[in-house]
Structure 1
Amino acid sequence: MAKIAFILLCHKDPEAIIRQAQSLTAVGDYMSIHFDKSAPAAAYAKIRTALADNPNVTFARRRVKCGWGEWSLVAATLEALTAAVEDFPRATHFYMLSGDCMAIKSAEYAHDFLDRREVDYIESFDYFKSDWIKTGWKEERLIYRHWVNERTNKKLFYAMFEAQKRLGLTRKVPADIDMMIGSQWWCLRRRTVEWVLDFVRKRPDVVRFFRTTWIPDETFFQTLVRHLVPEREIDSRTLTFLLFTDYGMPVVFYNDHYDVLLSQDYLFARKISPEAHDLKRRLGVLYSAERVKFQVSNEGRELFKFLSGKGRIGRRFAPRFWETESSLGRERELLIVVCKKWHVAKRLLERIRQQTNVPCIEYLFNEEATALPDLGGIQATMSKRHRHRRALMRMLFDYFETERLLVCLDPVNLDLLEDFCRDRAVTRILEIECQFSDAYLTGHAMRVGLAGDRTPSDTLARLLPTIRNDMLHESDRIRDAEFDNHLRIREIDSPEVNAQAIAQFLSVGEHKAQEIARTDHLFAD
């Protein structure tokens, strides 16, 4: 059975460290603590005294003054790892933690989880080919030497960088290793940790390279584990649940996040707010709890993206340079069906195809798999379709040899509606207003990853009103734009009433419009 030695790097809040150590070792697991040497000596003494009688707690033999982005963080980790390997011979796994982490599963669950597979859990992505680094330096982290801390010696840090750059003082990555990158929060097997420590003793050249690499805690273990362990024995993920905002700052969890955290497919979470006393109390007793059933739905990341994105309405500030003078064609008509329920719009389009000769294309800007002719590659990816939207539409008009074309859009695509409605062509919009039952919203939440089969009912109950309001808000934005030729049909209206809008939208007679409006089960879910 798995026994975990937690590698804890910390620098503050000794009371919280003591509680964390007591909680995680109460069920027989271990902890090796590195307390930052730059922290007050009294705080460290308090921790040593409080945990002196706990045989499952040890301390790094040598303490290091740590700084963000420095080798010192890796050095501190190696010190704590060495102590753990020596003092806890029964430990099977070594799990990296910070003082801001807390368990979101029981020890019973965590041990069973680790016993299921003989793998190391560590994010390990190709440094140069992956997009793990979203912004900022990439190659510069490695090929130049970084001797000082960027946050405490900013001027000197960048002056030394610029000097190396001007003089061409670059270096190469050690030839026999493939540089990898990933989160610093990992869980490694004992054999792997022993291999890493042995490698550090035998390869001072590699250690010397990483000593002057910027932010080596994101590359050192990630690279060495990939170098030493067969790929089939590495699961490139972290077992610690953490989120980042659009600005690269870690998301902090508070009291009302308890249910969401427990439903994620992770063993720990970071960062827990120091002020979230109720959350910390509930999580503190969780690790030693027995026979707890966890309903893992794993919707947290998509849920955060959805909720944090509300209200941030993106706008195009100007037309692209290649579109400034372009047009779909002054004599052409672009007919746009807007509907949140895609299956309803698709039923309507199928009926329109049967009753008219207007070429109809489904959600080409929302569904990658939408059937489209080969237009030389411009239709190949969703990003190309959006980027070359007008050129794509012109080519579709030409392909079908028509002056009238009908497409579907999701209400979220307000930028596309605004763009097409500014065109010299005649643009008509038919918005389909549907009713959203709780059952439909639940299914929608699952389809887009906001919920799962095991999402707790009370979490869904809080989420559904937000989703419903978001859908209504999308419709309100379209109405507020006051587009010309904007028509609506509604689920609550009769086919006779809806037929009037359809007749005007398609420029067809009343009889044909009513045939379309009476489509069988048009609004059925």
Structure 2
Amino acid sequence: MAKIAYILLCHKDPDAIIKQAERLTAAGDYMSIHFDARANPAHFAQISKALKDNRNVTFAHRRIRCGWGEWSLVQATLYAVESAVEAFPRATHFYMLSGDCMAIKSAQYTHQFLDDHDADFIESFDYFESDWIKTGLKEDRLIYRHFFNERTQKWRFYTSYHLQQRFGLKREIPADIQVQIGSQWWCLRRRTIEWVLDFTRSRRDVMRFFRTTWIPDETFFQTIVRHVVPEEEIRSRTLTFLMFTDYGIPVTFYDDHYDLLLSQDFLFARKISPEAKDLKRRLGLLYAAENVQFQISNEGASLFKFLTGRGRIGRRFAMRFWETESTLGRNRELLIIVCKKWHVAKRLLERVRVMTNVPAIEYLFNEEHTPLPDLGGIQKTLEKRTRHRRALMRMLFDYFDTDRLIVCMDPGNLDLLQDFAGDRSITRILEIQCSFSDEYLIGHAMRVGLAGEQTSTDTLDRLLPTIRHDMTYESDGIRDADFEHLYRIEETADMDDNAEALSGFLSVAPEKAREIASVDYLFAD
């Protein structure tokens, strides 16, 4: 059975640290604590006194002053790890935590999970090939020496940095090291920890290199583990659930996140709000509980992205790229079928294709695998298609040697609709309005990753109104855009009204439009 030595780095809230240590060690696990030397000495004294009789708790053999982005965070971790290795010979795993972390699974589940997965869990992506770093310094974190803290000594940090640039004082990365990057919240097996410690003693050159890199807690262990452990024994993921906002700020969890946290495929979560007293109480009881069944749906990240991506009125995240310098052609007609139920739009598209012989393409801006001709690579990814939307459409007109083309789009592609409607060509839009039952919305949530098979009924009950409102919002956006040639058919409308709309959209006789609209299975789910 796995026995875990938790490596806790902390600097505040002594009461929470004491409770966390007592809670985690009560299940037979261990803890090694490094309390920041720059923090309040009275707090450390309080922690030491409260835990001095707990044989499953030890403290880092040396305390140092820590600073964000500095080597000191790695060094503090190494001190705590070294103490844990010596104090707890029966520990099989070493799990990195902060004072803001809490278990979101029971000890029984956690131990069984680690027994079932004989691997090291640590995010480690190629430093130069991955897009893990979104903004700021990248290569310069490594090839220049960073002696000062960017947050507390900004002038010294950038003066030193720019002087090294000016005088060409670059340095080489150790030749046999492939730098990796990832989250600092890892869980490593004892054998791996011992190999890492041996490496730190034998490779002084690598240690000197990392001591003056910037933010080494995102690169040091991630790199060394890859260097000493076979790749097939590494799972490049963290077992600690954490998310970030669009501004790079960690998402904080509160009392009403209990069910969400338990359903994620992680063992711990970060960051738990200090004010979330009920959440802390419930999670504390959970760790000691036995025979708890967890329903893993793992929709947390996608659900957060969906809900926050809605923004407020006037929504954020609009596309910024407009191909104003190109046109589809003044005499061409682009016909766009817009529908949230993609299967309904595809049925109508196929019906129109058969009865009018107009070239038709399904959701080319929404589905990666939409069948498209080879257009020199511009069609290969959704990102390329969207970025070069007008060029892509112009090439499709040329490929099919036609002046009329029909495509499908999702109502969420309002920016694309506006861009095409603003072209010199004629753009006609047909919006298909469907009815959405709760069963369909649940299925939709599962298809797009907002829910899973095990998502609780309470979570779905809170989620469905948001999804329904989102679909209404998209439809309202299309109406408010005031498109010149906008037509609409509805699931609840009678045949004559839908046929009239189709006649105007396709520029066909009413009789043919009625024949197209008469298919009885068009709106079937």
TM-score (norm 1): 0.98
Letter in 2 for 1:313: R
Q: Alignment identity in percent? A: 71
2:363 alignment counterpart: 363
Counterpart for residue 25 of structure 1? 25
Aligned partner of 1:8 in structure 2 is 8
What CA distance in whole angstroms lies between the structure 1 residues aligned with 2:239 and 2:320?
Answer: 41
Question: How much does 1:318 deviate?
Answer: 6.9
| Structure 2: 5+ residue stretches without partners | none
* Equivalence for 1:278: 278
Q: Give the structure 2 partner of residue 243 of structure 1.
A: 243
How far off its partner does 1:317 sit?
Answer: 5.6
- Report the AA paired with residue 371 of structure 2: A
Shift of 1:357: 1.6
Write the distance in 1 (CA, Å) between the matches of 2:250 and 2:208: 30
Q: Is the 8 A contact 2:309 2:317 kept in 1?
A: no
Q: Residue 287 of structure 1: SS of its match in structure 2?
A: helix
Which residue of structure 2 lines up, in the alignment, with residue 461 of structure 1? 461
The separation in 2 between residues aligned to 1:165 and 1:403, in whole angstroms, is 56
Distance 1:383 1:317, change over 3 A: closer
Amino acid at match of 2:317: G
Distance in 1 between the 2:211 and 2:424 partners?
Answer: 61
Distance 2:522 2:322 in 1: 37
Quick one: distance in 2 between partners of 1:472 and 1:162? 52
**1 CA distance for matches of 2:265 and 2:65?**
34
CA distance in 2, matches of 1:64, 1:177: 28
1:44 aligns with 2:47: no
- Would the alpha carbon gap of residues 318 and 92 (structure 1) be closer, same or farther in structure 2, given more than 3 Å must change? closer
The residue type equivalent to 1:290 in the other structure is E
What's the counterpart of residue 421 of structure 1?
Answer: 421
Q: State how far apart, in whole Å, the 2-side matches of 1:315 and 1:242 are.
A: 26
Secondary structure of 1:272's match? coil
Q: Alignment RMSD, CA only?
A: 1.0
CA distance in 2, matches of 1:375, 1:70: 49
Q: Could you tell me which residue of structure 2 aligns to residue 404 of structure 1?
A: 404
Q: Which moved more, 1:256-265 or 1:372-381?
A: 372-381
Whether 1:319 and 2:322 are equivalent positions in the alignment is: yes
d(CA) in 2 for partners of 1:206 and 1:410? 52
Q: CA deviation at 1:393?
A: 1.1
- Give 2:432's aligned residue: 432
CA drift of 1:7 comes to 0.2
Matches of 2:509 and 2:119, distance apart in 1: 67
- Amino acid of the residue matched to residue 273 of structure 2? S
Contact 2:121/2:239 (CA < 8 Å) preserved in 1? yes
User: What's the CA shift string for 1:120-157, capped at 9, x where partnerless?
Assistant: 00001111111111111110000000011111100000
> Tell me, what secondary structure is at the counterpart of 1:23?
helix
Residue 110 of structure 1 aligns with an amino acid whose one-letter code is: T
Say if 1:102 and 1:375 are closer, same or farther in 2 by CA, change over 3 A. same
Distance across 1 between alignment mates of 2:376 and 2:63: 62
Partners of 1:221 and 1:319 lie apart in 2 by 43
**What are the equivalent positions in structure 2 for 1:106-505 lying under 5 Å apart?**
106-311=106-311, 312-316=315-319, 319-320=322-323, 323-324=324-325, 326-505=326-505
After TM superposition, the structure 1 stretch with the greater mean CA deviation from structure 2, 64-73 or 507-516, is 507-516
1:238 alignment partner, SS class: coil
Q: Write the deviation string for residues 16-70 of structure 1: whole angstroms up to 9, x where unpaired.
A: 0000001101110000000000111110010010011111111111101000000
The one-character-per-residue Cα deviations of 1:448-487 (angstroms, maximum 9, x if unpaired) are 1111111111101110110010011000001001101111
| One-letter code aligned to 2:524 | A
Amino acid paired to 1:204: R
Q: Does the 8 Å contact 2:121/2:237 carry over to 1?
A: yes
The residue type paired with residue 282 of structure 2 is R
Q: Distance in 2 between matches of 1:392 and 1:205?
A: 52
Deviation string 1:98-124 (CA, Å, 9 cap, x unpaired) is 000000000000000000121000001
- Residue by residue, what CA displacement relative to the aligned partner does 1:201-222 show, whole Å, maximum 9, x if unpaired? 1111111111101000001100
What is the distance in 2 between the residues matched to 1:435 and 1:364? 24
The whole-number CA distance in structure 1 between the counterparts of 2:316 and 2:482 is 17
CA distance in 2 between partners of 1:391 and 1:292 (Å): 56
TM-score under structure 2 length normalisation: 0.98
- Contact 2:321 2:387 (8 Å CA) reproduced: no
Amino acid of the structure 2 residue aligned with 1:278 = D
Cα distance in 1 for partners of 2:40, 2:87 equals 26
SS in 2 for 1:209: helix
Quote how far apart the aligned CAs of 1:410 are.
Answer: 0.3
Where does the alignment leave 5 or more consecutive residues of structure 1 unmatched? none
Alignment partners' CA distance in 2, 1:41 and 1:251: 29
